[in-house]
């Protein structure tokens, strides 16, 4: 193996390289697959190619191994082939898959939201004209709320106050008639920066969508309270639903939306989100730091 190969694998230069020696550096999740593919090359005539991950210290790299099967070109048990570093390509593919999944998830949510908002509006209006006006207002409000999940240009990193941000995001889901006020927001004066506003808006929007589809906001009797405490550097937002359908603790790892919320809170806000499932409704607790919220 040449000098570039040793550097790519992160192994010391030696006189000979064996498959067993290199396979110790293959990512455990890929090792059996690569071993099976390597064994299969002994009976395959022609070119082969396989992509896999390797561990290099604390870094993970993607390698594309290409060569000739059926002992073609092997002299003195020396295998002829190449290793390509395809880490950049794999990261781009993963990012595209994540984006496609997120877009699909959002489109499905929007369709569900439109249907649920229509049902909510029908409860608080008596004529088709009133319903059309109110539904149009709700959809316009939803559009303004969606603007908050995009970076805000020209704000010098300052986006909004936390209470204003949450109130605008939840406005489309609040009843305007006799059931007005079933969404209550009680948040102290805390500033939210541009980057944090984008992530937090995604989290709040996801929680509201789930509530609209399955939780307290899906029924006329349900209520939602969003409260916040801010002491020293800690900011804790508590999302409490009551009066919705019977609550049961979900099983399994959760869907794409749940993973999106968890990743946003941990990766972008360096915080966390936890859930409790009492009988009266779900309680979600968001924790982060003032410094991260202001970023």
Claim to verify: residue 64 and residue 129 sit in the same structural domain? no
Claim to verify: residue 156 and residue 226 sit in the same structural domain? yes
Query: What integer pLDDT is reported at residue 204 of this predicted model?
Result: 84
Claim to verify: residue 151 and residue 187 sit in the same structural domain? yes
How confident is the model over 100-112, as a mean pLDDT? 70
Claim to verify: residue 118 and residue 238 sit in the same structural domain? yes
* CA–CA separation, 91 and 104 (whole Å): 20
Question: Which of 110-114, 145-149, 163-167: highest mean pLDDT?
Answer: 163-167
pLDDT digits (tens, 9 = 90+) for 119-152: 766 765 678 887 787 677 766 666 665 565 454 4
Query: What integer pLDDT is reported at residue 70 of this predicted model?
Result: 66
Percent of the chain with pLDDT over 70: 78
SS3 content of the chain, % helix, strand, coil (to 5): 45, 25, 30
pLDDT digits (tens, 9 = 90+) for 248-289: 888 766 666 677 788 878 887 889 999 999 888 899 999 999
Percent of the chain with pLDDT over 90: 15
Say if residues 124 and 134 touch (Cβ distance below 8 Å): yes
pTM over 0.85: no
Looking at 64-68, 153-157, 267-271, which range is the least confident one?
Answer: 153-157
* CA–CA separation, 210 and 113 (whole Å): 9
CATH number at residue 77: 3.30.450.20
pLDDT band, residue 110 (cuts 50/70/90): low
Claim to verify: residue 96 and residue 61 sit in the same structural domain? no
Residue entry with tokens 């939210």:
192
Query: What integer pLDDT is reported at residue 253 of this predicted model?
Result: 66
Claim to verify: residue 114 and residue 21 sit in the same structural domain? no
What single-letter DSSP state applies at residue 80?
Answer: P
Number of domains comprising the chain: 2
Query: What integer pLDDT is reported at residue 131 of this predicted model?
Result: 76
Query: What integer pLDDT is reported at residue 256 of this predicted model?
Result: 60
pLDDT band, residue 94 (cuts 50/70/90): confident
Claim to verify: residue 116 and residue 73 sit in the same structural domain? no
CATH number at residue 180: 3.30.565.10
C-alpha angle with apex 190: 185 to 192, nearest 5 degrees? 100
The last residue of a domain, from among 62, 85, 108: 85
Q: Where are the alpha helices (H) located in the chain, listed in sequence order? A: 3-9, 19-23, 28-40, 87-123, 128-147, 162-170, 194-214, 256-263, 290-293
pLDDT digits (tens, 9 = 90+) for 26-36: 999 999 998 88
Claim to verify: residue 232 and residue 97 sit in the same structural domain? yes
Query: What integer pLDDT is reported at residue 157 of this predicted model?
Result: 44
Query: What integer pLDDT is reported at residue 155 of this predicted model?
Result: 46
Query: What integer pLDDT is reported at residue 64 of this predicted model?
Result: 92
Claim to verify: residue 246 and residue 275 sit in the same structural domain? yes
Query: What integer pLDDT is reported at residue 170 of this predicted model?
Result: 84
**Residue ranges making up the domain that contains 284:** 91-293
pLDDT digits (tens, 9 = 90+) for 183-196: 899 998 888 887 78
Query: What integer pLDDT is reported at residue 176 of this predicted model?
Result: 53
Query: What integer pLDDT is reported at residue 124 of this predicted model?
Result: 59
């Amino acid at each position: 193996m040449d000098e570039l190969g040793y550097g790519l694998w992160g192994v010391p230069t030696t006189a000979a390289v064996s498959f067993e020696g290199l396979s110790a550096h293959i990512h455990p999740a890929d090792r059996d697959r690569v071993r099976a593919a390597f064994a299969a090359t002994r009976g395959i005539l022609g070119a082969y190619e396989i992509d896999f991950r390797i561990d290099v210290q604390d870094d993970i790299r993607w390698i594309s191994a290409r060569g000739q099967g059926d002992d073609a070109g092997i002299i003195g048990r020396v295998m002829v082939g190449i290793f390509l570093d395809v880490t950049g390509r794999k990261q781009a593919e993963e990012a595209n898959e994540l984006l496609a999944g997120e877009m699909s998830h959002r489109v499905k949510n929007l369709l569900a939201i439109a249907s649920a908002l229509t049902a909510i509006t029908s409860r608080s209006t008596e004529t088709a004209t009133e319903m059309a006006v109110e539904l149009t207002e709700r959809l316009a409000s939803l559009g303004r709320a969606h603007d908050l999940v995009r970076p805000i240009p020209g704000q010098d990193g300052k986006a909004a106050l936390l209470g204003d941000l949450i109130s605008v995001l939840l406005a489309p889901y609040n009843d305007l008639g006799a059931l007005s006020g079933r969404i209550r927001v009680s948040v102290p004066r805390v500033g939210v920066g541009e980057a944090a506003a984008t992530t937090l808006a995604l989290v709040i929007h996801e929680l509201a969508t789930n509530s609209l589809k399955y939780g307290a906001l899906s029924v006329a009797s349900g209520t939602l309270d969003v409260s916040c405490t801010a002491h020293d550097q800690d900011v804790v937002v508590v999302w409490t639903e009551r009066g919705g359908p019977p609550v049961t603790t979900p099983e399994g790892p959760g869907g794409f939306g749940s993973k999106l919320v968890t990743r946003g809170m941990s990766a972008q806000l360096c915080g966390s989100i936890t859930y409790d499932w009492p009988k009266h409704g779900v309680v979600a607790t968001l924790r982060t730091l003032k410094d991260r919220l202001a970023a």
